[in-house]
Structure 1
């Protein structure tokens, strides 16, 4: 999850603190690490147009499930019956993704593109480029994505996801500009350049990327991404910002969060499940009021197998761990 989410939850006063291992918001650190812009910035990325390519893009209105805690168990009946599964691309194997394909699912592979998470096998060489810790997540730090060595790690991840068979990518934490990141003069333009670079790099492997949150830069990057993954726009009453995507024929995969639940979040102790208050009426049949026709789900912050849809049905995807 993500810094925008952290701000939203703080303003809404609904959560205490913590998050699953695969989601990202922000924190503070006693020392700010600085990096010279001249020595760290790779060449600027060119805009990647998606208009003429032939590889898979999700469609407006497709249904989805997002599971970032644990590995989806494909050896049992797969629920819910949705079009797309958004899963942790590093935790799942090529065989896991092939099994999801065999069940008729498209797979979006999640990864943190803007932070270093402790325990990931490929981050040892770039820890020197980290900034501040994300709030309440002491094992995760912002990383300077202007540095070529960092981009090399991300390029390797993208190539690995392509080999595994991921249909598209969900790069998280691309909005360091909007957070207390501890990086040297990191600006909005740096995020714009990075997203365009990610898009170009993914296109080398016939894969599209989405934009995770980062609503302020939508006009600058919408031509370089095939979809959006948005957290809590209904909760903070900002879904209109993301309407640019369906207006351009691109889907928004929206997730709203509840306060834990009977199993709770692995990192939160915030009491019972709340009902998401969809703020606006209207929208097509089967779509959630308040999200203007987006593909919306309700999840726990742990992003485990449990999901609630806006018709109030609930299902749980079985996990291996």
Structure 2
């Protein structure tokens, strides 16, 4: 058999290299899809208890990550909704299927909700794989974003000597975990650290800023073109909605059980 001409051999090798680069050698090296960036004024529904009501005519739903099925997320997507995955990132919950994965050493004092104890957020390396698994669940179910709850534990009596620096480090870890999975991530409350964290998070979720006269503290998110999903419990919509509309909050009134009931602005 006649040997291949050297120039032809080089060409074949070059073509092989180009093909390998294009396929990644059998691995998918394509960048993750661009994550969602919710904009100010987007209407929303926040439901964390009771049978999920998918009939609310809003573009954004925020629902419990464990209790909501992949099929329900798909249905919401078919109806044109974006869907946020609520997970508790600041407290251990005895009733969750992964409760036994959290060592007792991570659990602090009770936080006032049945079956919940504060987490020692100083131990980020122990919490990282646990929170990554929860975010993986959100991604596997098809969620667009995550809402990690209780991101201001350093201001509470947790049983641990938490500092503002501990909270910043933990919150940034959570934001990075979400972004690595192509998920948008919301900063829950933690008003004091908004100036330091607004660049790390894609939106904010706030409770009761009107009741406590704190809504102006959320402006860094709005000024950055990022949505603030806001809920009040005790203040009537007629009192807080005009101010919400003026600055661009996405505001609703909810009951504390966070069932399907809502009053929109």
Class of the TM-score when normalised by the shorter of the 2 chains: 0.7 to 0.9
SS at structure 2 position matched to 1:109: strand
Deviation (angstroms), 1:178: 0.5
Does structure 1 conserve the Cα–Cα contact (< 8 Å) formed by 2:86 and 2:146?
A: yes
Residue of structure 2 equivalent to 1:115 = 91
Q: Distance in 2 between matches of 1:249 and 1:60?
A: 6
Residue of structure 2 equivalent to 1:201 = 177
Does structure 1 conserve the Cα–Cα contact (< 8 Å) formed by 2:237 and 2:252?
A: no
Residue of structure 1 equivalent to 2:47 = 67
Does structure 1 conserve the Cα–Cα contact (< 8 Å) formed by 2:237 and 2:264?
A: no
Q: Distance in 1 between matches of 2:59 and 2:241?
A: 26
Does structure 2 conserve the Cα–Cα contact (< 8 Å) formed by 1:177 and 1:186?
A: yes
Radius of gyration: which is bigger? 2
The alpha-carbon distance between structure 1 residues 106 and 281, as it changes in their structure 2 partners (threshold 3 A), is closer
Q: How does 1:213-292 map to 2 (within 5 A)?
A: 213-258=189-234, 275-276=236-237, 278=239, 281=242, 287=245, 292=247
Does structure 1 conserve the Cα–Cα contact (< 8 Å) formed by 2:109 and 2:157?
A: yes
The alpha-carbon distance between structure 1 residues 109 and 281, as it changes in their structure 2 partners (threshold 3 A), is closer
More RCO (CA 8 Å, sep 6+)? 1
Count of paired positions: 231
Q: Distance in 2 between matches of 1:161 and 1:170?
A: 10
Residues 162-197 of structure 1: CA distance to partner in whole angstroms, max 9, x if unpaired?
Answer: 1110101100011110100101x2111111111111
Q: Distance in 2 between matches of 1:161 and 1:280?
A: 31
SS at structure 2 position matched to 1:278: helix
Residues 36-79 of structure 1: CA distance to partner in whole angstroms, max 9, x if unpaired?
Answer: xxxxxxxxxxxxxxxxx822111111110000003415xxxx43
User: Which of 137, 153, 178 lines up with 2:155 in the alignment?
Assistant: 178
The alpha-carbon distance between structure 1 residues 163 and 280, as it changes in their structure 2 partners (threshold 3 A), is closer
Residue of structure 2 equivalent to 1:12 = none
Residue of structure 2 equivalent to 1:155 = 132
Residues 123-161 of structure 1: CA distance to partner in whole angstroms, max 9, x if unpaired?
Answer: 2132411111013x2411101123222221111001111
TM-score when normalising by structure 2? 0.82
Does structure 2 conserve the Cα–Cα contact (< 8 Å) formed by 1:70 and 1:91?
A: no
Does structure 2 conserve the Cα–Cα contact (< 8 Å) formed by 1:118 and 1:140?
A: yes
